[in-house]
A and B are shown apart, each in its own frame.
Chain A
């Protein structure tokens, strides 16, 4: 499973479809989250207006990101935080591991964070002899299993309770038949020990507020609160796109994110941290480091369509709504961010060449666009990336192969148009198709065509490699009409 890459989506997807355990694990996802989400959004007076407000706020921030990011850094530092700038994963990892080692920590507690997955922070820490302990239950499960998350919100969704019970039995010695409550209690007991010992805590960030330098983190379990308040040093790793202009802007996003993500009206906890404590008697972080990570994000600012990718608030609603994700799960995408949003983010983060199958991992049905709380037009983005792949506009290179294909396509379409040009020709080719399709059509459709026939009729082979083609009907509407008119309009 671990060797899956973003360029093997076809192969990964077929393997996922043939995996009965995975299919069982994925079964409840869409219906459970779908139902909960619907009920939760019904409690917002005007859901559409909230979405539009959020989209607009994100558009404002991203269009002037240099200004807002500068203000955020100034205000966070004025409040006592230390800001670090990382242009890529390598820099981000070396900043964090440097901070951890300076403080002499051999173990750090971590709360769930997609950006730390993206930069592979755990590997970097381990390479430096530091033990990273994931404390979110789902993340801890996959850390024990030495796997990667398969969902943005519920990282271990691909595992069944049975598999998790067996994993715990093997790794931490619980009963093989332990139920969910017992498994959860085990995690609590073991991880509390880690929290009690840790001197450094590492978290992600859901939202940063430019005007105050605040960061906000949402959760349900309490491990974010423990990670950010028990250790002396808190390191928050944050993508540069996470900003909102004003403190009060948090309101609309707190309305949208939990409802879209887990179908809750609000998650159990939100922590807003604004710098370090101001008074010796106060509680509050003694030391707060915020690592701002670019890692390919600023490139997405270079076009209004791709810029939308940065509005994502990582709720996971598009994953839950996507018929492709529902069928193949997260690992098939071969990258940290799966599902529709992953299919647009991964090729942009890793480069189109490394993930060129992902923009095609979609039927363009638009379910993702419909549920997205910040109205990202994911189908539009997918088409934009597909165009970049076929036209080579991402690097400006127009290869001989591309020139040849354009010429081929142009000839093919001229041929098609000549076949449809006059009623006589149209009828002739229709009859020809009806006769020749006898070789391949079954039950009114044409299944996978390969071999000699595929090479004789090139588009047919390519089309049916992935989906059925409709067969030409035995009698067209026009033919039926004429036959019935001859019968005096009477039904047969």
Chain B
């Protein structure tokens, strides 16, 4: 097997061969870095509006709730609407207060349970207005599988956590990067057969966001 040193030496010797030609190809050299664009200051209300409209465009659904209590109520209504009997939840405190008469709430679901529940509920730590994207950070919540395996993903998001662009979100996270970060923009989709759109190929078929103002 090749060692690290051998691989890096191979790279170095190739780069050394190119040295005499570098001066002839100025247009292929790095140019000075420009700062990335930042959207001008936008109010939380406007960001929420943009986020909702972008997410709806890609097939997601958005419900608004004025506070946590009402958000839980909204979640219960959604669960009733989709006829959910068993629901997987992340370890988010708020979700423990979900109270449905005939709904089984499963925290820390097993692999087997994940595949049979009717929905999974999590929150998102950040969001991107420009593309209607949810950002799930694994260091704060156990939501990696609950947001993925069940056929419906219900996600709680606070208006204050919406940022204008991807650049803003990356910069905000760059000081403390979670072991896994997942960006979610709408339900699972594919166009692999004749470029025809089909929803819900492997991930959730429905993405429902409950936005808390």
- Contact: B189 with A221, CB < 8 Å? yes
Chain A residues with CB under 8 A of B178: 274
Segment 277-321 of A: residues with Cβ below 8 Å from B: 277-279, 281-285, 292, 294, 298-305, 307-308
Contact with B along A268-281 (1 / 0, CB 8 A): 11111111111101
Given the interface contacts A45-B37, A56-B30, A59-B30, does A136 sit within 8 Å of B183 by beta carbon? Answer: no
Q: A25, A137, A247, A283: which contacts B190 (Cβ < 8 A)?
A: A137
- The closest CB in chain B to the CB of A303 belongs to B18
Q: Nearest residue in B to A270 (C-beta to C-beta)?
A: B183
Asked if A303 meets B17 with Cβ closer than 8 Å, knowing A59-B29, A63-B30, A266-B133, the reply is yes
With both beta carbons as reference points, the residue of chain B lying nearest to A59 in the complex is identified as B30
Q: Whole-angstrom distance between the alpha carbons of A300 and B33 in the complex?
A: 25
| A187 close to chain B: CB less than 8 A | yes
Contact with A along B157-176 (1 / 0, CB 8 A): 00000000111001101100
Residues of the B chain whose Cβ atoms lie less than 8 Å from the Cβ of A191: 202
Asked if B28 is an interface residue, CB under 8 A from chain A, the answer is yes
Q: Are B11 and A301 in contact (CB under 8 A)?
A: yes
B202/A283 in contact, CB under 8 A: no
Number of interface residues of B (CB under 8 A): 74
Does A19 sit within 8 A of B, measured CB to CB? Answer: no
Beta-carbon contact of B111 and A188 below 8 Å: no
B-contacting residues, A169-216, CB 8 Å: 180-181, 183-184, 187-188, 191-192, 196, 212, 214
B203 on the A face (CB < 8 A): yes
Residue A222, interface by CB 8 Å: yes
**Contact B185–A85 (Cβ < 8 Å):** no
Alpha-carbon distance between A262 and B183 when the two chains are bound, in angstroms? 17
Q: Mark A68-112, 1 if CB is under 8 A from B, else 0.
A: 011001000001100101110001001100000000000000000
Are A283 and B138 interface neighbours, CB within 8 A?
A: yes
Q: Which residues of A contact B189 (CB under 8 A)?
A: 220-221, 268
Q: Which of B11, B21, B36, B185 contacts A251 (CB 8 A)?
A: B36
Q: Tell me if B195 and A29 are in contact (CB < 8 A).
A: yes
Residue B120, interface by CB 8 Å: no
**Are A28 and B194 within 8 A (Cβ)?**
yes
- How many positions in chain A have a CB within 8 Å of any CB in the partner chain? 104
Contact assessment for B28 and A59 in the assembled complex, using a CB-CB cutoff below 8 Å = yes
**A161 close to B139 (CB less than 8 A):** no
Instruction: Contact check, B174 vs A60: say whether CB atoms are below 8 A apart.
Output: no
Bound Cα distance A316, B194 (Å): 16
Closest beta carbon of chain A to B207's beta carbon, Å? 9
Which chain A residues lie closer than 8 Å to B180 at the CB level? Answer: 229, 271-274, 283-285
Q: Which chain A residues lie closer than 8 Å to B31 at the CB level?
A: 52, 55-56
Judged by a CB distance under 8 angstroms, whether A144 is at the interface is no
In the bound complex, CA of A348 to CA of B196 (Å): 35
Residue B181 at the chain A interface, CB threshold 8 Å: yes
Q: Which of A53, A222, A272 is close to B181, meaning CB atoms less than 8 Å apart?
A: A272
Assess the B166–A251 pair: CB atoms within 8 A. yes
- Selected contact of A137 from candidates B25, B111, B183, B192, CB within 8 Å: B192
B25 contacts across to A, CB distance below 8 A:
304-305
Flag if A180 contacts B131 (CB, 8 Å).
Answer: no
A32 CB–B CB distance under 8 Å: yes
Asked if B184 is an interface residue, CB under 8 A from chain A, the answer is yes
User: Which of A32, A250, A303 is close to B170, meaning CB atoms less than 8 Å apart?
Assistant: A250
A141 in contact with B192 (CB, 8 Å)? yes
Q: Which residue of A lies closest to B31 (CB)?
A: A56
Contact B188 A301 (CB under 8 A): no
**Which residues from chain A contact B21 at a C-beta distance below 8 Å?**
303-305
Asked if B93 is an interface residue, CB under 8 A from chain A, the answer is no
- Indicate which residue in B3, B142, B171, B181 contacts A282 across the interface (CB closer than 8 Å): B142
Which of A83, A275, A282 is packed against the most chain B CB atoms within 10 Å? Answer: A282
Residue of A nearest to B201 (CB): A221
- Asked if A124 lies at the interface with its beta carbon under 8 angstroms from chain B, I say no
User: Taking the nearest CB of chain A, how far is it from the CB of B20, in angstroms?
Assistant: 10
The complex places the Cα of A246 from the Cα of B58 at a distance, in Å, of: 29
Binds B, one of A152-160, A407-415, A468-476: A152-160
CB contact under 8 A between A184 and B193, given known A59-B30, A270-B183, A274-B178: yes
**Residues B144 and A32 in contact, CB atoms below 8 Å apart:** no
Which of A161, A226, A266, A274 contacts B183, CB < 8 Å?
A266
Q: A403: CB under 8 A from chain B? A: no
Q: A223 to B191: give the CA distance in the assembly, Å.
A: 14
Give min CB distance, A48 to chain B, whole Å: 12
Q: Which residues of A contact B179 (CB under 8 A)?
A: 79-80, 273-278, 282, 284-285
B198 within 8 Å of A (CB atoms)? yes
Q: Is the pair A188, B28 in contact by a Cβ cutoff of 8 Å?
A: no
Chain B stretch 3-56: residues in CB contact (< 8 A) with chain A: 3-4, 6-8, 10-12, 14-15, 17-18, 21-22, 24-25, 28-31, 33-34, 36-37
From A86, A156, A283, A303, contact of B145 by CB (8 A) = A283
Q: How far is the CA of A57 from the CA of B185 in the complex (A)?
A: 26
CA distance A160 to B6 in the complex (A): 46
Would you give the shortest CB distance from B79 to chain A, in whole angstroms? 22
Instruction: Tell me, rounded to whole Å, the shortest Cβ–Cβ distance linking B178 to chain A.
Output: 7
Bound Cα distance from A3 to B34, whole angstroms: 48
CA distance A64 to B19 in the complex (A): 12
Which one, B34, B36, B196, contacts A180 given CB within 8 A? B196
Residues of A within 8 A of B177 (CB): 212, 214, 247, 272, 274
The residues of B that contact A154 with a CB separation of less than 8 Å are: 191-192, 195
Cα A270 to Cα B136 in complex, Å, equals 10
* Complexed CA–CA distance, A55 and B136 (Å): 29
- Residues in B whose Cβ lies below 8 Å from that of A57: 30
Q: Inside 8 A of A196's CB, which chain B residues have their CB?
A: 111-112, 115
B200 at the interface (CB under 8 A from A): yes
Alpha-carbon distance between A45 and B38 when the two chains are bound, in angstroms: 11
Q: Are A298 and B10 in contact (CB under 8 A)?
A: yes
Beyond A220-B188, A284-B144, list 16 extra A-B contacts (CB 8 Å): A55-B31, A57-B30, A66-B8, A95-B1, A156-B193, A180-B194, A196-B111, A229-B145, A229-B148, A251-B167, A265-B131, A268-B203, A270-B183, A271-B183, A272-B180, A298-B14
A-B pairs with lowest CB-CB distance, top 9: A222-B203, A138-B192, A222-B202, A284-B179, A301-B14, A304-B25, A87-B2, A302-B17, A222-B188
6 contacts between A and B (CB under 8 A): A53-B34, A73-B4, A94-B1, A188-B201, A272-B183, A274-B177
